[in-house]
Amino acid sequence: MARQVLFALLMALSLCATTALAEQPTLSGRWSATAMRIQWNIGDWGKACGPKPGGGGAPGGTVTVQQAGSELTITGAGPTYSTTHCWEQFPGLLRRSHSGGQRGWHNVCKTAANDPRQATVITTISATSNAISFDETGQYQFVIERQNCTASVRRTRSFRLIQRQGEPPPQPAASAPPPEPKASAAPEKPTPTPKRCSETGPPARLEVRPSRKLMRPGEEFTFRARVLDEKGCALSLAPTWKIDNKDAPAKLTGAGRIHVAGDAPETEIPLSAVVAGRAAHVTVEVASSKRYDALLGSGAFDESGESGNAAVAVIASGSIGSRSVVARDAARAQKRRFIAILGGAALLLGIVGLLLVRRSRRQHAAANATESDAATSAESGTGAAGPRRRGMICPTCREEYPADAGFCAMDGNRLIPVEEGVDPRGPTGGVCPVCGQGFDPGVQTCPTHDEELVPAAVYMADREQGPMPTQQICPVCGTRYPGDSQFCGADGAALVPVN
């Protein structure tokens, strides 16, 4: 009886949500698309890895959007794209999960676990009646001749409605008559300072643009830095600049102004802008004239050789790794009823899922015990002849795991095999202080939250200071873990506390 009541309630909520969605106008029609902005971040990349990745975008222009059910197809200004898959497409990359609706879509694409080219691509599309936003992040890790080849990318793009299907074209605005000449032009008044910035607060954020600059030998460039308070008001503070590599073929000639030596080879020069003990890191990439033109054409830089994003350092926050506040779209305020309906449905489905997990935990425990016995037999040398592995290791924190593990339980990064006779020690990666996700050595910023990564040891030390649950559970497979774990070692899902 209880199951019948729960099923009827879920059907009613689903019907209400469908009715609310049906009231929304179609997204089919002609749209104006911006050029796709691409931001590459290269980590470890040795000679065996080949050319560094770049490009992979699309130009701006007019596109046609066709809505079929709850999915969109976008044609024009680049390759034809559907919300049913990721933008990034290469052999071996398959869609692992998809969720979609009338106004939001989410795709996760990954390579197979045994593929030496490990890649994870996450595509998110959100829409209102007159605007569509596209955001895709990718993480790539290849192992070639025992060299780690790591890189990450972020692709962003936006669309604006020109004419909705079934509606008349917009009327051109009538041209205004030329203004009559004035007898005497009054002097222009200076723009008044906004009232909210009449009183500034302590420094809270340091921004430096660009985060990456392409330069030729002998050139000089000045980075643009500004210090803001919590309200976003600019302060008169100036950061202290330094070149992190003392042997770099360059020198600072002013505040943020760097001069590259005329005989400098192709290299990368790291710089830091420091305010109140917090640093924003930028990079100068020195390239020959021939390679300079090739890099400009890759799409990672604009016509002046600057990347589109800024290097950011949070100076004052409630705690290290505090989550950034996301501004809400004004249009969402008109759909609170619809969001409440979906929230209630999600809560009920979550309760049902938790009951199913508790019911099947004994079956999962038995399966895990069987897999553990099989792994023990493999480690004891009872398998087929071939190179023996010591197990798996996390490239972020260097924690070692059995050979059947796939993800680090501390930071969720994908594990890599450690062959016998190879020293597992090496440089550690960084952890995002917002989501706790670990990344490979060389990655400096979380592609999802744009937050500067912190060393794995620092993140774990800060986390151990707070209270921890006694036990956690994977919402996907139901496996239980001790309270100091954050991610499932079997599928990489984030763990949730057990009540």
* Percent residues over pLDDT 70 in the chain: 76
256 vs 380: which has the higher pLDDT: 256
**What average pLDDT does range 20-37 have in this prediction?**
82
**What average pLDDT does range 333-342 have in this prediction?**
72
Strands 454-455 and 480-482: unpaired
Distance, CA of 172 to CA of 496 (rounded, Å): 55
Q: Among 80-89, 110-119, 359-368, whose mean pLDDT is lowest?
A: 359-368
Provide the pLDDT for residue 2.
55
Provide the pLDDT for residue 107.
93
Provide the pLDDT for residue 400.
85
Q: Dump pLDDT digits (tens) for 124-182.
A: 999 888 999 999 999 888 888 878 899 899 999 999 999 998 888 766 555 555 555 55
**What average pLDDT does range 296-322 have in this prediction?**
73
**What average pLDDT does range 205-220 have in this prediction?**
92
**Does 421 score more than 70 pLDDT?**
no
Are the CB atoms for 57 and 156 separated by under 8 Å? no
Reported residue count of the chain is 499
Q: Is 277 strand, coil or helix?
A: coil
Provide the pLDDT for residue 18.
53
> Which amino acid belongs to residue 420?
E
- The alpha carbon torsion through 86, 90, 94, 96 (nearest 10 deg) reads -40
pLDDT tier for residue 33 given thresholds of 50, 70 and 90? very high
Within 10 Å of residue 407's Cβ, how many Cβ atoms?
21
403 alpha carbon, distance to own chain's centre: 29
Show the domains of the chain with their CATH numbers: 26-165 (no CATH), 203-314 (2.60.40.60), 359-375+387-497 (no CATH)
Provide the pLDDT for residue 496.
77
pLDDT tier for residue 331 given thresholds of 50, 70 and 90? very low
371 vs 225: which has the higher pLDDT: 225
* Percent residues over pLDDT 90 in the chain: 26
Which ranges in 276-335 belong to alpha helices (H)? 289-296
**Does 488 score more than 60 pLDDT?**
yes
Provide the pLDDT for residue 383.
46
pLDDT tier for residue 384 given thresholds of 50, 70 and 90? very low
pTM of the model: 0.36
Distance, CA of 173 to CA of 260 (rounded, Å): 51
Distance, CA of 91 to CA of 87 (rounded, Å): 13
Distance, CA of 416 to CA of 404 (rounded, Å): 11
Q: Dump pLDDT digits (tens) for 62-84.
A: 999 999 888 999 999 888 999 99
Per the prediction, the chain carries an average pLDDT of 79
Provide the pLDDT for residue 115.
86
17 backbone dihedrals φ, ψ, rounded to 5°: -65, -40
**What average pLDDT does range 436-440 have in this prediction?**
87
pLDDT tier for residue 303 given thresholds of 50, 70 and 90? confident
140 vs 355: which has the higher pLDDT: 140
pLDDT tier for residue 323 given thresholds of 50, 70 and 90? very low
412 vs 193: which has the higher pLDDT: 412
**Does 318 score more than 70 pLDDT?**
no
Are the CB atoms for 123 and 84 separated by under 8 Å? no
Distance, CA of 483 to CA of 471 (rounded, Å): 4
Provide the pLDDT for residue 257.
93
Provide the pLDDT for residue 253.
92
Q: Among 33-47, 122-136, 475-489, whose mean pLDDT is lowest?
A: 475-489
Strands 71-75 and 61-68: antiparallel
**What average pLDDT does range 424-430 have in this prediction?**
74
Provide the pLDDT for residue 367.
59
Tokens 């019948």 belong to 4
Provide the pLDDT for residue 241.
94
pLDDT tier for residue 350 given thresholds of 50, 70 and 90? confident
> Which amino acid belongs to residue 76?
G
Distance, CA of 134 to CA of 436 (rounded, Å): 24
Provide the pLDDT for residue 188.
53
Provide the pLDDT for residue 73.
93
**Does 224 score more than 90 pLDDT?**
yes
Tokens 């917009």 belong to 170
**Does 358 score more than 90 pLDDT?**
no
